[in-house]
Amino acid sequence: MSDEEQRIEQLIRSWAVAVHDGDIDAVLAQHTDDIVMFDVPPPDQGVRGIDAYRATWPGFFEWQRGAVFDIESLHVTAGEGVAFAHALLPCDTPEGLTTNPDRRLRLTLGLRRENGDWVVAHEHHSFPLDG
């Protein structure tokens, strides 16, 4: 793994901790103003822009108090100025994980390098559709 890939892995792991802690400032850090997020719930067209991205989090923080949001596996591919990463996360209440222990949140991120720092420009969060 390259030094840049290690930097990005640290960025993503810190972001996941911030999500679990409900720390909105740390969740928003190192995200671009023009971020496009394909979230688990609608809208189908995606959440567009940092203000809309910010607005998605309070409801999720409320839901996931006492729940799990841990990176189980993470793979980063970084070039000079652009990178992407994909990860799997148990993301559920303790009761949900007992019922569906293999259920995973699938997460993909797209990043750009700006002024020497990596920033997240795209997130795609989903669960598989059963049946």
Distance CA 80, CA 65 (A): 38
Nearer to a second copy, 25 or 44 (CB): 44
Binding site for a second copy (CB under 8 A): 36, 38-46, 75, 77-84, 86, 88, 102-104, 106, 108, 110, 112-113, 121-122, 124, 126-130
Smallest separation, CB 92 to a second copy (Å): 11
Nearer to a second copy, 19 or 92 (CB): 92
Smallest separation, CB 27 to a second copy (Å): 20
DSSP string, 70-115: ---EEEEEE-SSEEEEEEEE-EE-HHHHHH-TT--EEEEEEEEEET
**Most distant CA atoms of the chain, gap in Å:** 46
Nearer to a second copy, 19 or 89 (CB): 89
Q: Which two tokens stand for residue 83?
A: 């990178």
Nearer to a second copy, 26 or 97 (CB): 97
Distance CA 63, CA 60 (A): 5
